[in-house]
Amino acid sequence: VFYTFTKRKMPPSLARALEAFGSASEVAYVDLRDAGVDYLAAEQLANALRSNTSVTDWNLCDNNIGRHGAVALAAAFNPVEDNSLYNCTLTTLNLHNNRIGPEGAKALARVLKTNTSLQDLYLGNNDLGNEGAEHLAQVLQSWNRSLKTLVLVGNCIGNRGAVELAKVLHNEYSSLELFGLSNNHIGCLGAIAFAEALMVNTTLHTLYLSSNGVGESGAKALAKTLAKNPPLTKLTLTDNRIGDVGAATLAKALVVNTSLAVLMLRDRNRIQNQGNRALRAALMQNTNLQALDHSTQSTKVVPGSLENGDDCEAGQAPAEFPESSDSEAQDTGDVANLSFFTRA
């Protein structure tokens, strides 16, 4: 059963609406996206969540719960808070674009330390910064063994935060399968940290690093890892200024890689003839790759898809990430300019 409330259909009293389905055993998914939910309404939601044992998926993206709302929601999932009642059935929580900030991230990190039901957490566009990223990373490095999806797109996370997040993948008990970090500022140092982590990680299959200033050095590090055949099946490096040398190094890795199925290199990567030729040559030898986009513009939509500090490459201001979850939208353009490959 699905309950959806929008601005046009929002009940006069959110509290009455919550009471109506709070005890309904058949409700599994509640959609409150862009519904004008503020921190007071979030507190009401939290109270309803404490006693609910049927809802597994809450979508609160594009609201304004802020840090106070995030703290209230976190308490509803945390058995160590000062309450005898807490939710232990929720598996998916989407708080994308809610301005929860570092304090909200800290509260949710405490949840991840004790909660064992939450599997998918979407926190994109929440002004987390390095501080918020570090709160989450600290817990995920040691405690959590259940989270499978973590999306942190558009959070102004720099290389410092990225290095801490990459350490999560070194945890032998990590269960992360999808990591979304597009439209941050991780730079080549962040990319190198993730490349090193992927050398030892055995669970991650999807990594979004678009619009991060990865550069040539970051691309080289990732290529070195890809040549070792990690379990990664999808990697997005759109808008990262990797250049011909970075593209050629990735192409060399593709010749020996047998696990990657999708590689996105489109838009503002400065790949010219040399890089294009290397990538096309790699495709002749790699029969496992299902999609490779190194175009300037594409007519194809591919499903599935932000403290600045010292870095080893300049010019890393990313474009704004427009999505509200973990999908990476592709623009339309002239077919004549395509360098897009899909295997039938």
Domains of the chain: 2-342 (3.80.10.10)
For residue 318, what pLDDT is reported? 33
For residue 84, what pLDDT is reported? 54
In the sheet with 120-122, reading across from the earlier edge strand, the strands are 2-4, 29-31, 57-59, 92-94, 120-122, 149-151, 178-180, 206-208, 234-236, 262-264, 291-293, 340-342
Residue the block writes with tokens 């790949």? 271
For residue 126, what pLDDT is reported? 99
For residue 294, what pLDDT is reported? 86
For residue 242, what pLDDT is reported? 98
Q: Sign (positive/negative) of CA torsion 157, 180, 105, 322?
A: positive
For residue 321, what pLDDT is reported? 31
> CA-CA distance, 55 to 26, in Å (whole number)?
8
> CA-CA distance, 123 to 250, in Å (whole number)?
30
Residues in the chain, pLDDT under 50: 7, 10-13, 297-338, 344
For residue 340, what pLDDT is reported? 61
For residue 333, what pLDDT is reported? 28
For residue 308, what pLDDT is reported? 32
The tens digit of pLDDT for each residue in 142-187 reads 989 999 999 999 999 999 999 999 999 999 999 999 999 999 999 9
> CA-CA distance, 261 to 249, in Å (whole number)?
17
DSSP-H helix ranges across 115-258: 129-140, 159-168, 187-198, 215-226, 243-256
Query: How many CB atoms are closer than 10 A to CB 8?
Result: 6
For residue 107, what pLDDT is reported? 97
For residue 135, what pLDDT is reported? 98
For residue 164, what pLDDT is reported? 99
Alpha carbons within 13 A on the beta-carbon side of 25: 0
> CA-CA distance, 141 to 96, in Å (whole number)?
23
For residue 35, what pLDDT is reported? 87
For residue 196, what pLDDT is reported? 98
For residue 195, what pLDDT is reported? 99
First to last CA, the chain: 36
